[in-house]
A and B are shown apart, each in its own frame.
Chain A
């Protein structure tokens, strides 16, 4: 069952700008993960944030988690053409035996 929903569905930005995408989910979670997928390829894990964490950074990535609103955001700063990809959030919840549930993704296009 799909729990996460990303917003927006698609995003087009200029190189150097920041990109922000959001993920909302329905039930209590143990952790939330973000993945990147280049066209026609597999997913690559970017970052994991646990339910007791509020913010996490990894390089140009910043993830926030608001469990009261059941939402998360992924910020990519100083975007590059190589950041063009689809980004998916995935949640692990005890109610689903911690199997990851993926959203439909946000497609990001970075224009040179």
Chain B
């Protein structure tokens, strides 16, 4: 089955702790994205990557970090600097085209603060 797998489904963070959300895709897509979704709001872009070993900040990158060591994987670390991390996090991927085409999304990770 081709798709995007996010894990874990639920994650709890203690004060001052860094946590890492996993995102893996087997669609052979070049581009991968991380979005944050707060209740009743749209998606806001955290980071995106169009090629291995390269990534760019989105609209709300502060307090987050990413890596892209493999084409299939794009983990997101929520650092202790992110003071309001409770949200639903969505990973997505797409084929890399001159203009953005459709995104394929994972099932999301709900992050809560203990």
Contacts and interface: CB of A to CB of B under 8 A. Distances in A.
Nearest to B43: A102
Contacts of B42: 2, 4, 88, 102-105
Contact of B108 (A33, A42, A103, A105): A42
Interface residues of B, number: 27
A44 interface: yes
Contacts of B35: 102
Interface string A27-64: 00011010100001111110010000000000000000
Interface in B11-68: 35, 40-45, 48, 58-59
Contact of B58 (A43, A99, A104): A99
Contacts, number: 61
User: How many A residues are at the interface, by size bracket?
Assistant: 20 to 34
Contact of A45 (B6, B41, B88, B104): B104
Contacts of A44: 105
A71 to B, nearest CB: 17
A42 B99 contact: no
A6 B29 CA distance: 29
Contacts of B104: 45
15 contacts: A1-B59, A2-B42, A30-B100, A40-B88, A43-B43, A43-B90, A45-B103, A48-B101, A92-B99, A98-B98, A99-B58, A99-B100, A100-B100, A102-B42, A104-B42
Interface of B: 4, 6, 35, 40-45, 48, 58-59, 88, 90, 92, 98-108, 110
